[in-house]
Amino acid sequence: MSLRPKRRNMPRVDVIPLIDVLMVLILFFLTSMQFQDLRALNVTLPKIDSAGSNKITNQLVVSVSQKGEYFLNGNEDNLKKIGEVMKSTASLPRKPAVLVVADENVPLKHVTKIVDLCRESGLDDFRLQSR
């Protein structure tokens, strides 16, 4: 038996497993996070219980604010210009779908004007956004 005191190793923190766990958590949160669709309008959508998904890839987004202002893809426009854009896009080989986003307090006449523009321009695939 030796009388020399045993030398203890200094405690240390191994950071490699910590980094691995943090990377897995970051990847998990990034893949499971829902990114909100940023439309610059403050529009409260009406609730429809039987509504399906409105995820369209080739689309024109026409929004109507509570004050009755019209927006095309987030930019304020009037009905005449929106109709012209719809007519020009209706002549494309792959016609875009139109997504109508209207505040729940908007009078029905504003929404029907957009629907009429869609039909007049030949864009038959239009949908109403709901929550």
Q: Can you give the pLDDT at residue 104?
A: 82
Question: What tokens does 123 get?
Answer: 């864009």
Give the closest residue to 82 by CA, choosing from 51, 124, 113: 113
Q: Can you give the pLDDT at residue 34?
A: 67
Q: What tens-digit pLDDT sequence spans the chain (131 residues)?
A: 567 777 888 888 888 999 999 999 999 888 887 665 545 456 666 666 665 554 546 788 888 888 888 888 888 888 888 888 888 888 888 888 888 888 888 888 888 888 888 888 888 887 887 65
Under CATH, which architecture does the 59-128 domain have? 2-Layer Sandwich (3.30)
Q: Can you give the pLDDT at residue 56?
A: 47
List, in sequence order, every residue forming a beta bridge with 72; answer none if it has no partner. Answer: 62, 75
> pTM here?
0.54
DSSP letter string, 54-123: ---SSEEEEEE-TTS-EEETTEEE-HHHHHHHHHHHHTSSSPPEEEEEE-TTS-HHHHHHHHHHHHHHT-
Q: Can you give the pLDDT at residue 24?
A: 93
Question: What tokens does 91 get?
Answer: 């002549």
Q: Distance (Å, rounded) from C-alpha 114 to C-alpha 130?
A: 16
Question: Which DSSP helix (H) or strand (E) runs through 128?
Answer: strand 126-128
Q: Can you give the pLDDT at residue 13?
A: 82
Q: Can you give the pLDDT at residue 19?
A: 92
